[in-house]
Amino acid sequence: MPSKSRIPARLRGIHLYPIFAGEPNWIQCERSIIPEEANGSIPVRFSFIVPQAMTQENTPTIFAAEKRAHWRALEPEIWSIQGADLDAVPTQSILTTLWDQPRWLEAYHLYDQRGSELFEQICGLPEYYLTRTENAILETHARDIIARAPVRCIVELGAGYSKKTVHLLTEQLRQRGSSIFAPIDVSAAGLRASRAAVRSAFPEIQFHGLHARYEEGFSAIDKNLPTLFVFLGSTIGNFNHSDFPRFFRTLSAAMGPGDFLLLGADRVKDVKVLEDAYNDSRGVTAEFILNVFDHINRLLHGNFARDNMRYYSRYNPEWQRIEMYAVARARQDIRFADIDAAFQWQKDEKILVEISRKFDPLRLQEQLRFFDLGAVEHFTDPREWFSVLLFKKES
Ligand code: AVJ
């Protein structure tokens, strides 16, 4: 938005927003005439276009010049790609993977409203050590991490705002006095919560929420802006063997020379500890995994019956990953009302809903070298259950 002082008096009280993000000299104005003003007639709304000089606030400096035109303000300090339809892809993803052998689902479908709430609950479970352990590592080492990554901007992939991020932002302000913070998230609600929290706790921080998928978000960041990319929570554990190299190839390509990546990764460990973390005694994880079928039923008007399935998970040592399945208790004829498509979900057949890979930090460091990401430092906890790895983009 242009600053108030630059708006001519006759336009005050009118809702202004920039149109054509690439041609900043025009602002579209909308005005609703309230009934009294309209003198008894029905309220009308009209819009007109006025020239307006672009101000700093209209073009956040985080975007690369060639990408700027694609982004528009969804609301104050939250940006989205012009015309992007974040809902267009899920339907196709669900259908194609459900028709695979074995049937499976991409993990991001788990996070509808209820799924996000259930995941929050998981983070507090006694068996789910990941969140607590990573948080402790960051609390202990935030000072060192920020000292080693002299940046002006922190871009966080997913999880817009958490206790963990607070440690980094606090140190960034302490050591540098100011900073840009740009969380990337497909959840607008998450970005709003993040904006509110940053506003009240860190008013010195310049906030730019990017409402986008990870790759669209980080690819838009200006390579000349020294940036620390933060990807926590072992979310990389969800990536399968084709997602993984694609993700690091695009992330590395989006990083400027001298940019940093902070990566949280859960480690290979005792099988009992791992299996308990994904099969808690209260059944929250089971509810989280099976909830995806309620979400799918809503999206695609399907008929998955929750009382006709159960949760099953195991650690697969060869693939070093937890596999989380839904198993049919009895045969179900699955149909989708809007689409001419149906399949038989056989009794005892498993649908792979989520994988959670476990890592060897040294191997991960060796591997990321091939993406021009050089290992800078490795932070871990006393039990060595979780690793937070700092990398620097080379060349
Ligand atoms: C958010 C992908 C890191 O794999 O530990 C937790 C998701 N699924 N319990 C994980 C999850 C079941 C979580 N990640």
Q: Give the DSSP H/E element, type plus range, for residue 378.
A: strand 373-380
Positions in the chain short of pLDDT 50: 1-30, 32-38, 40-44, 53-57
CA distance 54 to 368: 41
Tokens of 179: 């900073």
* Residue 287 CA, ligand 1 centroid: distance in Å: 13
Q: Exposed/middle/buried for 358, CB within 10 Å: 0-12, 13-18, 19+? A: buried
The pLDDT score that the predictor gives to residue 163 is: 79
* Residue 270 CA, ligand 1 centroid: distance in Å: 17
* Residue 356 CA, ligand 1 centroid: distance in Å: 6
Helix ranges (DSSP H) in the chain: 90-98, 113-123, 129-148, 163-176, 188-201, 214-219, 243-254, 271-277, 284-300, 361-369
Contact 184, 210 (CB under 8 A): yes
* Residue 95 CA, ligand 1 centroid: distance in Å: 23
Pocket of ligand 1 (CB under 6 A): 122, 130, 233-235, 237-238, 278, 285, 288, 354, 356
Closest ligand 1 atom to Cα of 356 = 4
- The answer to whether the Cα torsion of 315, 318, 320, 322 is positive or negative is negative
The pLDDT score that the predictor gives to residue 271 is: 98
Number of neighbours of residue 347 by Cβ within 10 angstroms? 12
The pLDDT score that the predictor gives to residue 89 is: 79
The pLDDT score that the predictor gives to residue 5 is: 41
* Residue 213 CA, ligand 1 centroid: distance in Å: 18
Tokens of 240: 């399968």
From 121, 234, 292, 320, mutation site for ligand 1 pocket: most ligand atoms within 8 A of C-beta:
234
Nearest residue CA, atom 10 of ligand 1? 356
Residue 230 CB partners (closer than 8 Å, separation 6+): 154, 155, 156, 157, 165, 168, 261, 262
The pLDDT score that the predictor gives to residue 385 is: 98
Nearest residue CA, atom 2 of ligand 1? 235
- Classify 156 in phi/psi space as left (phi over 0), alpha (psi -120 to 50) or beta: beta
CA distance 395 to 377: 18
Q: What is the DSSP letter of 26?
A: E
CA distance 335 to 344: 9
* Residue 355 CA, ligand 1 centroid: distance in Å: 8
Contact 306, 346 (CB under 8 A): no
Residue 306 CB partners (closer than 8 Å, separation 6+): 290, 293, 294
3-class DSSP assignment, residue 360:
coil
